[in-house]
Structures are given as structure tokens and as C-alpha cells.
């Protein structure tokens, strides 16, 4: 349900940005880091929104991947330690003789 809400929110923002951009056929001068150019407001708005959305997903994906790798390493370490404990407990079984009184 949460993901559906987020998807609808992003979709609404995109529709609003395209609608506002379609109403503005004005050409703007955009000076970015490597070059500069003149673009329509609608094209510039949609392109920058899509670029930001993809960049955000890539960053979140990298954090998610790093977390999954960390969890997998921890699971392997837990299994290895459990095997060591089970083999150590089997090997160190001590038999205590009964005391006669």
C-alpha cells in the first residue's frame, strides 16, 4: 500500500510538471556545468525530473545492495559459527563416572 501511494505521488508530480511545462512554450537559456543551451520549459522540466528520479533510484539501489551484501555476509558467518559450536559440543562430550557410596 505504501509503495502504491509513493508511485501515485510521483506520477502526480510528473503529470503536474508536464502540464505546467506544456502551458509554457517559452524557451529558456540553461547554463549547466559543461555547456549551455536553449530549451523549452516543458522539455527541461521533464528531463530534469526524470534525471533526478533515476539518480535517486540508483543511489537507493546502491544502499540496498550494500545492505543485502552485509546481511548475506552476516548469515554466512552465523552459519559457520553454529557449525563450529555443534562440532565442538559433539567433540567435548564428557562422561562422568557414577560415584558409589
The domain total for the chain is 1
86, part of any domain: no
**CA pair distance 43, 26, nearest whole angstrom:** 10
72, part of any domain: no
Could you tell me the pLDDT band of residue 79, with boundaries at 50, 70 and 90?
very high
**CA pair distance 64, 15, nearest whole angstrom:** 28
85, part of any domain: no
12, part of any domain: yes
50, part of any domain: yes
26, part of any domain: yes
- The cell numbers describing 46, all together, are 521533464
Choose the most confident range, by mean pLDDT, from 45-49, 52-56, 66-70, 82-86: 66-70
**CA pair distance 75, 62, nearest whole angstrom:** 20
Let me know: does 30 contact 39? Beta carbons within 8 Å.
Answer: yes
Give this prediction's pTM.
0.60
Query: Which residues form the domain of 23?
Result: 1-58
Amino acid at each position: 500500500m505504501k509503495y502504491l501511494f509513493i508511485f501515485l505521488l510521483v506520477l502526480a508530480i510528473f503529470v503536474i510538471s508536464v502540464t505546467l511545462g506544456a502551458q509554457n512554450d517559452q524557451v529558456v537559456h540553461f547554463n549547466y556545468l559543461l555547456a549551455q543551451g536553449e530549451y523549452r520549459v516543458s522539455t527541461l522540466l521533464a528531463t530534469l525530473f526524470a534525471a533526478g528520479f533515476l539518480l535517486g533510484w540508483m543511489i537507493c539501489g546502491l544502499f540496498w545492495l550494500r545492505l543485502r551484501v552485509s546481511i548475506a555476509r552476516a548469515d554466512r558467518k552465523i552459519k559457520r559459527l553454529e557449525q563450529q559450536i555443534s562440532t565442538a559440543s559433539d567433540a567435548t562430550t564428557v562422561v562422568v563416572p557414577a560415584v558409589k557410596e
